[in-house]
C-alpha cells in the first residue's frame, strides 16, 4: 500500500497504553496518525498502578521497541498459584512446564507509558487535548476537542476511540452495556516475610477473589475484592489491623505481612459495546471492554485490539480505511478474543465467589483435578498468554 503525506491521518483519542501501542506501531509502518491525549506529556509517569502483562503482551511491546525500557522494572511471574479459602485443592501453573520463559510480568502503568513515549514520535501527539464529542457521516468522522481553552475539530477517515471508556459517554451508534459486579477492588502494595520467588497468588474467598502479584524484589501488589461496604471498612483500618486481616484471609504462604502502602479502591464493572465499530469509527482497549481484574485479561485483550487493528490497516487500501467492510473484517478478528475474555472472567468470578454448601468441595475437586490434567492447564495458559 502506498501512503502519501497528503493523506489525512487516522486520529486516536486517548494516549493510554492501548492508544500508544497503536500509534507507535502505525508510525513504525509509516502510516499517518495523530493522537489526542487529555493529559500533559509525562503526567502519567508516577502512576504506580500495577498491570499484569501476559507473555503475549510482552511480545507486542518487544515488537514496538518499548520492552527494553520496561524490562528492568518488570517483575517476572514464573508460577501462578490458584487456591480457595476454606477449601481443598489448588492449581499451580509453571512457565517452564509450558515452554515459556514467563507466565507474565508485573509492570507499573507509569513505567509502561514512559517506555512507550520513548519510542513514540511526539510530533504526532497533541497533549492537553480533551475530546468532547464525536460524530460520523458517510465519508468520515469528526472529533471535537478542547485545547488551550479553545474548541477545535479534526476530520479523519477513521477515528479510533481509546480513551478508557470513562469520558465519552455518548458515542453515536454504539450502545454500551454496563453492569456493576457489585464489588470494589482494593489495591495496594504489601511487603511480606518470605520472598515471592516469582509466584503470583490468586485466592478465591466467599467474599470475592484476591490476588498477590510479585512486584519488585520483595513486594507484592495486592488486589482484594469484595462488596463495597467490606472494602470501605478495609480502607479505614489502621495498618496493623489491616495486615492481620489480610493474613487471616490469605493464609500463610508468604509468611506474615509486614507493611502496607497507601490503599485505594475502585468499583468493578463489566462494560462492553454491542458493536465496537460503526463506519469511520472504532473503539479499542478499555473503552471497548472493561472486565473484572480477577483473570488479568482486560488490559491484555486491549493490547491485542491495537495489534489487530494495525494488521487490518496494513492490509487495507487507504481508500478503505474506516469503510464498513474494513471495520467488519477487524470486528470479526476480535469477537472471539473479547467474548472469550469476558466469559472466562465471568466464569471465574461466578464459580468461585459462591458460598453454597458443597460448592466449595466441588471447586476443590475441580482445582485438584485441573492440577494433574496437563492438557487443561495448557488451554488455560494459552488463554492467559495469547487470548486463544
Contact 136, 159 (CB under 8 A): yes
Interaction of residue 49 with ligand FAD, rule CB under 6 A = yes
Q: Tell me the residue length of the chain.
A: 388
Near ligand FAD in 173-212, by CB under 6 A: 187
Query: Which is nearer to ligand FAD, 37 or 78 (by Cβ)?
Result: 37
Interaction of residue 41 with ligand FAD, rule CB under 6 A = no
Q: Which bin fits 259, alpha (ψ -120 to 50), beta or left (φ > 0)?
A: beta
Near ligand FAD in 284-313, by CB under 6 A: 285-287, 293, 298-299, 302
Query: Which is nearer to ligand FAD, 16 or 87 (by Cβ)?
Result: 16
β pairing state of 79-84 and 199-205: parallel
Binding mask 238-277 for ligand FAD (x = CB under 6 A): ----------------------------x-----------
Beta bridge partners of 264: 187
Interaction of residue 162 with ligand FAD, rule CB under 6 A = yes
Interaction of residue 18 with ligand FAD, rule CB under 6 A = yes
- The 3-state DSSP class for residue 44 equals coil
Contact 184, 251 (CB under 8 A): no
Smallest gap from residue 281 Cβ to ligand FAD (A):
14
Residues 50, 218: Cα–Cα separation, whole Å: 15
Interaction of residue 168 with ligand FAD, rule CB under 6 A = yes
Stretch that binds ligand FAD, among 36-44, 169-177, 330-338, 359-367 (CB under 6 A): 36-44
Going from the C-alpha of 387 to that of each of 155, 179, 227, 271, 381, the distances in angstroms are 34, 23, 29, 18, 9
The sign of the dihedral angle between the CA atoms of 39, 43, 47, 53 is positive
Enter the C-alpha cell of residue 308.
489487530
Smallest gap from residue 383 Cβ to ligand FAD (A):
16
Query: Which is nearer to ligand FAD, 164 or 214 (by Cβ)?
Result: 164
Residues 311, 360: Cα–Cα separation, whole Å: 44
Query: Which is nearer to ligand FAD, 220 or 320 (by Cβ)?
Result: 220
Residues that bind ligand FAD (CB under 6 A): 13-19, 36-39, 49-52, 130-131, 162-164, 167-168, 187, 223, 266, 285-287, 293, 298-299, 302
Amino acid at each position: 500500500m502506498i501512503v502519501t503525506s497528503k493523506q489525512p491521518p487516522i486520529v486516536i483519542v486517548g494516549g493510554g497504553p492501548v492508544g500508544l501501542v497503536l500509534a507507535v506501531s502505525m508510525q513504525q509502518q509509516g502510516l499517518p496518525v495523530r493522537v489526542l491525549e487529555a493529559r500533559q506529556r509525562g503526567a502519567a509517569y508516577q502512576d504506580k498502578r500495577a498491570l499484569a502483562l501476559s507473555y503475549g503482551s510482552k511480545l507486542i511491546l518487544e515488537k514496538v521497541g518499548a520492552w527494553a525500557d520496561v524490562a528492568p522494572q518488570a517483575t517476572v511471574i514464573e508460577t501462578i498459584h490458584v487456591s480457595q479459602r476454606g477449601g481443598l485443592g489448588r492449581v499451580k501453573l509453571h512457565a517452564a512446564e509450558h515452554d515459556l520463559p514467563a507466565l507474565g510480568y508485573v509492570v507499573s502503568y507509569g513505567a509502561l507509558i514512559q517506555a512507550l513515549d520513548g519510542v513514540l514520535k511526539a510530533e504526532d501527539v497533541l497533549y492537553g487535548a480533551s475530546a468532547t464529542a464525536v460524530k460520523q457521516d458517510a465519508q468520515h468522522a469528526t472529533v471535537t476537542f478542547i485545547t488551550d481553552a479553545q474548541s477545535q475539530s479534526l476530520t479523519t477517515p477513521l477515528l479510533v476511540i481509546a480513551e478508557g471508556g470513562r469520558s465519552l459517554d455518548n458515542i453515536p451508534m454504539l450502545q454500551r452495556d454496563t453492569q456493576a459486579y457489585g464489588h470494589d477492588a482494593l489495591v495496594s502494595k504489601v511487603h511480606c516475610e518470605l520472598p515471592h520467588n516469582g509466584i503470583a497468588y490468586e485466592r478465591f474467598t466467599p467474599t470475592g477473589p484476591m490476588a498477590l502479584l510479585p512486584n519488585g524484589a520483595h513486594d507484592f501488589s495486592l488486589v482484594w475484592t469484595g462488596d463495597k461496604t467490606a472494602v470501605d471498612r478495609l480502607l479505614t483500618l489502621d495498618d496493623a489491623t489491616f495486615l492481620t486481616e489480610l493474613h487471616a484471609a490469605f493464609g500463610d504462604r508468604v509468611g506474615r505481612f509486614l507493611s502496607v502502602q497507601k490503599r485505594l479502591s475502585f468499583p468493578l464493572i463489566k462494560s462492553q459495546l454491542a458493536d465496537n465499530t460503526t463506519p469511520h469509527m472504532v473503539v479499542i482497549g478499555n473503552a471497548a471492554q472493561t472486565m473484572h481484574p480477577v483473570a488479568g485479561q482486560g488490559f491484555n485483550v486491549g493490547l491485542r485490539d491495537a495489534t489487530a487493528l494495525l494488521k487490518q490497516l496494513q492490509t487495507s487500501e487507504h481508500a478503505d480505511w474506516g469503510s464498513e467492510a474494513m471495520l467488519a473484517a477487524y470486528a470479526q478478528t476480535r469477537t472471539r478474543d473479547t467474548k472469550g475474555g469476558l466469559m472466562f472472567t465471568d466464569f471465574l468470578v461466578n464459580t468461585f465467589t459462591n458460598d453454597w454448601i458443597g460448592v466449595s468441595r466441588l471447586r476443590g475437586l475441580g482445582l485438584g483435578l485441573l492440577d494433574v490434567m496437563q492438557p487443561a492447564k495448557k488451554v488455560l495458559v494459552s488463554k492467559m498468554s495469547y487470548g486463544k
